[in-house]
Chains A and B, each alone.
Chain A
């Protein structure tokens, strides 16, 4: 059974850093493309980052230069390193598995981890 379990969220001050983890089971993260998608409180979904199975990464303009997506194949875990955090980064962060090589849709999602950026 495919499972994704996020962790690492919490309350952080503006300008701070946080690393989110997404532990995968039931499949191998290195053979699938994976993404992070976030949802601000009461708002819609926003794509954040993708890492292709081949290792290529892309980030949304809103987080480019501040966030970095990566994975540890030995731990079968996806990460999101977040630096220079802003109030507008406050959201539930979901990791999601892309079923296709195009990485344009997600067939499995984690339960999400809440990041709150506030002083």
Chain B
């Protein structure tokens, strides 16, 4: 299964907003509302930030938001903070003859 497409890197200054895109196909991102986003700091396990396209788990800052248009999902982080610097991965269910879950290649966020 091919990975979803994310930009390799994005950057922003503290207080700014950034958006990370995640592009798939009509068989995954575009076909289901099963897109999730994870934050991963170096040497740590991933942390769930957004699920079902735009839902935020309890405890996750409301500076994080998710959306989807067609085959592309997006994660927006507003009011950037130094601790937001991390790798971000999108994930989506893909329809097939069996269960399949895809991840994006990951995006390194640098807070300048």
A-to-B contact residues, CB < 8 Å: 35, 37, 44-47, 50, 58, 60-61, 94, 99-100, 102-107, 109-112
Contacts and interface: CB of A to CB of B under 8 A. Distances in A.
Nearest to B107: A44
B20 to A, nearest CB: 13
Nearest to A94: B45
A60 B89 CA distance: 18
Contacts, number: 66
A50 B91 contact: no
Contact of B89 (A44, A58, A107): A44
B48 A102 contact: no
Contact of B100 (A60, A102, A110): A60
Contacts of A107: 48, 51, 57
A112 B45 contact: yes
Contact of B103 (A44, A61, A109): A44
Contacts of A50: 99, 101
Most buried by B among A58, A103, A104: A104
User: Size range of the interface on B?
Assistant: 20 to 34
A80 to B, nearest CB: 15
Contact of B46 (A58, A94, A103, A104): A94
Contact of A58 (B38, B45, B92, B99): B99
B103 A105 contact: no
Q: Which of A37, A44, A50 has the most CB of B within 10 A?
A: A44
Given A94-B46, A106-B48, A107-B57, 9 more contacts: A45-B103, A45-B106, A47-B91, A47-B103, A58-B98, A104-B101, A105-B34, A106-B36, A110-B45
Contacts of A102: 34, 93
B86 interface: no
B18 interface: no
A44 B45 contact: no
A74 to B, nearest CB: 26
Interface string B55-99: 001000000000000000000000000000000010111000011
A59 to B, nearest CB: 8
A111 B45 contact: yes
